[in-house]
Structure 1
């Protein structure tokens, strides 16, 4: 058994002794896709507790250290923490009641442990993750990418290189990933919360030339030029926005 899965099992053994603990759900590479676990994975989980117990579990981490001493931790949200065990296992978790869990978007959860009287279907209790919106269309993502380039190049010309890099090399690239998802779906396990995950395994460089699209802080113009070419080679670009982008690149 992978050490991270063993850690979850050991944690579950301890939680089973606590009457206000309801369930432990593994997420991400500790969820149903736990075959993805490797030496670079972190351990994500939800702890489900009884009504009124969330604050106590969020503030007091004695339950977390039951399997192994915790060397480092901090609260990264109201009901959750990030922590590193003394043996190097890094965890990120959040704590909810059954009712709160039902309102969360999540997917791929795995029940590691639950009380015999826990409600059924906890691993599938959440709202669908990554559900499409009315704006999840080729037209939307294409025009978002183009306007990201337009705004980013103006900021580059103003000398605001960092924000320009975000518009050109992050936001526009996110839209390119969305376009590929809609027009050239790949046979890989997509992360609905972070489309950049495992993208190198999904698309070869000839399909998504990331080295050209994300060349770094000093190369916003080159990145914008590469992204415009990538978009124009795959989709019809309205000259009313394409030409102003080319004008900015020429300055």
Structure 2
């Protein structure tokens, strides 16, 4: 049975993706920062007749990524067929480009650059040996259309996009598909959407933002997972 591992699983994109793949017969592995969050997600899936295995890891600590992959491989006997990296960080406001110092940027690197690189490094050998696999990284659309107010996250994510493009060609030749899912909308039912509605981000992005149902994003992840070739960039809304 194929499997999907969702790194940074949350109540919006992570849960919707788990439901989409679970209904298609995939084994589900959810990776998140706290037991409480993961248990709530598993309860929601069980209400739909699905189940998931849970792994606790802080994705702001790159060293924990390889440990999680090792545990998944020991349990499943192989690396996942599809990996989605989609952590949300609402613990702090993004820092605009004029205020972004080297020291501040360094604190944004682990979640937005170092950990996903470590994840690719951990799963790619097993995928290429098998001759199949998909790695999807959720990013903000500011990686291609700069948004000065979001520089603290978009700058390292843009570096990550360059890395994904650099590694995707050879990976594609060996049966592994790599994709950047670039989201330019507020994801409904997410923690960020809740905080935005409460005015938390007014100093960054005042007013209304277009929103998107995470079920729509999950369907895009599904389509990416059954595509192929070199780096795929899926931009929502479409460019």
Q: Normalised by the size of structure 1, how large is the TM-score?
A: 0.26
Select the structure with the greater relative contact order (CA < 8 A; seq sep ≥ 6). Answer: 2
**Rg (Cα) greater in structure:** 1
Instruction: Calculate the TM-score normalised by the size of structure 2.
Output: 0.27
